[in-house]
Amino acid sequence: MKRRSFLTGAGTAAVAATTLPAPAIASGKRTLKMVTTWPENFPGMGTSAARLAQRITDMTDGALTVKVYAADELVPALEAFDAVSGGAADIYHGAEYYWQGKSKAFNFFTAVPFGMTANEINAWIYHGGGQELWDELSAQFNVKAFAACNSGLQLSGWYRKEINSPEDLKGLKIRMPGLGGEVMRKLGAAAVTMAGSSIFPSLQSGAIDATEWVGPWNDMAFGFYQVADYYYWPGWHEPGSCMSAGFNLTVWNSLTHSQKEVVKAACAAENDYSLAEYNHFNGQALKTLVEKHGVKLRRFSPEILTALKKASAEVLQETADADPYARKVYDSFSKSLALSKEWTRIGDQAFVQAREDA
């Protein structure tokens, strides 16, 4: 979802914090404000945020009532982190790589090019030390974050013209955030970041030539097939995108032990549920896009994928060198990936290939 700091800074959040009330507390009950980076009622990530809010509300019998504000309702989409960090809101729901202007290390908690699948990033966060590193990083900004949604593997995106070689990427104006955008820039593309609501009109007007967003389900909902003919795969840039729920750390510390356990359980349940939801609806949507809307599926050539992988390795090294903490997270991420990808190769990958070949 190019990473620059889109956020207005802690100063904005601090001002907002003085004009918005702290969590409403009455008769032992609290209302927490959740701000999201997603359009209102957006299928998948937006509805996942709403479902998480409802889970927490229901599981605490209303002791914690979470009220959801879509992007731009309370704060602009890409200011959600600062709003929570500064106390203007209590929870954000978004993608951690949106905050890479704070620290490059945040990228690893969403997705990195040629990195972890959804299963692998869950393994790292839950069992490989990822959550502990995430806690350490987020605490620097007065935040406590959890994995709370996963969209699975995201496709390479929509293009208004065919891409037959790495040369075709030069000068291409593409909406691609995170480290994927930095990889594209290394290959000569002009990668930009923009909120979801701006993508379709930008693609339609020619302000951009291509875009990645999520996958068939979400991409069909945004109608990209109406303005771009070519849909490319495989999804090299975001192989298993983790979305997060981040709590203001002061608010988090004020919760009772049982409330904290409920929140953690609700986030884990929604993380699992949302991945299954994406896998189900992506299959349906892909069939509709091809059979009903005549979308032209194209696979990137080995030459293009080789160029992308080489540039990705360079970008990851530069990211790791950005600061000592980014290096620490990169080392942990890489160690976990080295272990899990071998199991993926002889487990899932080998089975899927056998299922195709048999």
Per the domain annotation, does 231 fall within a domain?
no
Alpha carbon distance 337, 333 (integer Å): 6
Q: Which whole-number Å values give the CA distances from 104 to 112, 146, 328, 353, in the listed order?
A: 11, 18, 11, 35
Per the domain annotation, does 135 fall within a domain?
yes
Per the domain annotation, does 255 fall within a domain?
yes
Per the domain annotation, does 357 fall within a domain?
no
Note the pLDDT of residue 177.
87
Is the Cβ–Cβ distance between 75 and 16 less than 8 Å? yes
Tokens of 69: 């504000």
Per the domain annotation, does 47 fall within a domain?
yes
Tallying the residues shown for the chain, one arrives at 358
Per the domain annotation, does 111 fall within a domain?
yes
Per the domain annotation, does 5 fall within a domain?
no
Alpha carbon distance 107, 99 (integer Å): 8
Report the phi/psi class of residue 210: left, alpha or beta, with left for phi > 0 and alpha for psi in -120 to 50: beta
Alpha carbon distance 150, 37 (integer Å): 15
| CATH code assigned at 137 | 3.40.190.170
Per the domain annotation, does 319 fall within a domain?
no
Q: Which residue has the tokens 């809101």?
A: 89
Q: Count the Cβ atoms, other than its own, within 10 Å of residue 76.
A: 18
Note the pLDDT of residue 176.
93
Return the ∠ at Cα 148 (arms to 275 and 192), rounded to 5°: 85
Note the pLDDT of residue 43.
92
In 16-122, DSSP assigns E strands to: 24-26, 29-36, 64-69, 91-94
Q: Quote the pTM value.
A: 0.88
Alpha carbon distance 123, 116 (integer Å): 10
Instruction: Name the residue range of residue 28's domain.
Output: 10-151+239-280
Q: How many domains, the chain?
A: 1
Per-residue pLDDT of the chain (358 residues; tens, 9 = 90+): 433 333 333 344 443 444 444 454 445 799 999 999 998 888 999 999 999 999 999 999 999 999 999 999 999 999 999 999 999 999 999 999 999 999 999 999 999 999 999 999 999 999 999 999 999 999 999 999 999 999 999 999 999 999 999 999 999 999 998 899 999 999 999 999 887 888 999 999 999 999 999 999 999 999 999 999 999 999 999 999 999 999 999 999 999 999 999 999 999 999 999 999 999 999 999 999 999 999 999 999 999 999 999 999 999 999 999 989 999 999 999 999 999 999 999 999 999 999 999 8
Note the pLDDT of residue 20.
45
Tokens of 180: 């994927």
Is the Cβ–Cβ distance between 145 and 246 less than 8 Å? yes
